[in-house]
Amino acid sequence: MANGTNGDPPLPALASNGIKLLSEAVIPGGSLLLEKHIGSGVGAAAVGILGGAVMSAVFGPLGYLLTRVGASAVSYSAAVAPPPPPPTSPATNHLIAENTSAIKEFTKQNEVLQHVLEHVLAEMKSPPHKRGAA
């Protein structure tokens, strides 16, 4: 099957996500570091390694494993998430308000024209001797 025909991401995005996932196996926060989110990547690495060491002292190997996998999962999900939409500016809000008022005005004019058209059609359907007698 060709790439992208069944809703799957294209091959470069799939390969990129695979490389990010492999980087998490090497160091927690690796995928964020690959995305050039240095602060978040270093923070995830610190939680995964140092937090894992603390948790292994308290809960044993299971504590280390859960902390390490948890830090990697959070890091990977943050790295592959789409960027947030840009915030709207006052200029954008002004344009939206103008367009909304124009649409409302158009709708009002359309309703008036619809009423006039219905009236004209009703007049045309009435017998000739009753036209204009209303």
What was the pLDDT predicted at 39? 93
| Alpha-carbon dihedral sign for residues 114, 120, 122, 125 | negative
Whether 36 and 71 share a structural domain:
yes
Whether 75 and 97 share a structural domain:
no
Within a 10 A sphere around the Cβ of 66, how many other Cβ atoms?
14
* E strands present in the chain: none
Q: Could you tell me if residue 68 is inside a domain?
A: yes
What was the pLDDT predicted at 88? 75
Is the per-residue pLDDT at 1 higher than 50? no
What was the pLDDT predicted at 133? 56
The string of pLDDT tens digits covering residues 86-134 is 777 888 888 888 999 999 998 888 888 888 888 888 887 777 666 555 5
Q: Could you tell me if residue 3 is inside a domain?
A: no
Q: How far, in Å, CA of 48 to CA of 74, rounded?
A: 10
What was the pLDDT predicted at 4? 43
Q: Please tell me the pTM assigned to this model.
A: 0.55
Whether 64 and 102 share a structural domain:
no
Q: Could you tell me if residue 41 is inside a domain?
A: yes
Mean pLDDT of the region 76-84: 87
Is the per-residue pLDDT at 79 higher than 80? yes
Do 75 and 30 touch, CB atoms closer than 8 A?
yes
The string of pLDDT tens digits covering residues 9-26 is 665 777 888 899 999 989
Whether 69 and 107 share a structural domain:
no
Residue range(s) defining the domain that contains residue 104? 90-130
Q: Could you tell me if residue 37 is inside a domain?
A: yes
The string of pLDDT tens digits covering residues 36-77 is 989 999 999 999 999 999 999 999 999 999 999 999 999 999
Q: Could you tell me if residue 1 is inside a domain?
A: no
Q: Could you tell me if residue 31 is inside a domain?
A: yes
Whether 109 and 68 share a structural domain:
no
